[in-house]
Amino acid sequence: MLSSLNADLHSHSTRSDGVLTPSALAERAKRNGVELWALTDHDEVSGIAEARAAAADLKMPFIAGVEVSVTWAGKTVHIVGLGIDENNADLKEGLRQTRSGRERRAHDIAAELEKAAGIRGAYEGAMQYVGNPDLISRSHFARFLVEKGVCKSVSDVFQHYLADGKPGFVAHRWAKLSDALGWIQQAGGVAVIAHPGRYDLSDVALTALMEEFKQLGGVAIETVTGSHTPDQYAQFHNIARRMQFDSSRGSDFHSPDDCEVDIGFLPALKPSATPVWHRWQQLL
């Protein structure tokens, strides 16, 4: 049954804020039984060629992907693009523009951590974990604060220092939803709302997001993902069915040492789901 396929269509490498190279991530996915894999680095496609070649060597079907950072109603939302042409000029330029504000925000985060919490050297500390300087992110600061002993885990850092309203939080305006979907579609891909259960949105706002996403040509939501609870698997499966979205599945894997679910170890989609990967059956 197609819905039971061990597909993992959301993961990150050293080209954004993961800790494994694209090749090493491919090897881990294959070892963990992944039958269809996508690399979806944040606002970056430079790892796709390496990931594709590694997946081919491992005889593991591969889909080129990206995760685009979006500001919607004052909140940060992530949109995954799957089946993209990573060499599309419109997509590459849009991602370049989206990346351009990250370094400025990183300096602001470091300044806030020093001013509000007395934590010095955070920018330099975070940079030790950065594979791509254009993509310094909150995750890199979190790893530094864990290494420094400020918190025990990356999730603790976000909870106490880097989430909205905490000492190191700095707001940033990302791409517009319409722009992100336009870039993905120009590149021949399909758009997916990543981990919808993570966003601090009311039920009314979440519905509004999904309706606008659908109007703009979005086709799927992640129903089974690393940060969702079993109750949320059911909740978003029902939403996908009701709103006629395909369902996607992805661990959002970043690191073997700090992951809610390892790549390849999520539960299957429900049998009644329409898997987004029905669009790439020729790969299976």
* DSSP string computed for 240-274: HHHHT-EEEEE--B--TTS-SS-TT-SPPPPTTS-
Predicted pLDDT at 212: 98
Cα atoms in the Cβ-side hemisphere of radius 13 Å centred on 134? 13
Output DSSP code: residue 20.
Answer: S
| First-to-last C-alpha distance (Å) of the chain | 12
Closest CA to 279 of 86, 81, 91: 81
Predicted pLDDT at 258: 77
Predicted pLDDT at 259: 78
Closest CA to 66 of 187, 206, 210, 197: 187
Predicted pLDDT at 101: 77
Predicted pLDDT at 135: 78
Tokens, residue 178: 């319409």
Output DSSP code: residue 161.
Answer: I
Taking 50 as the pLDDT cut, the residues of the chain under it are none
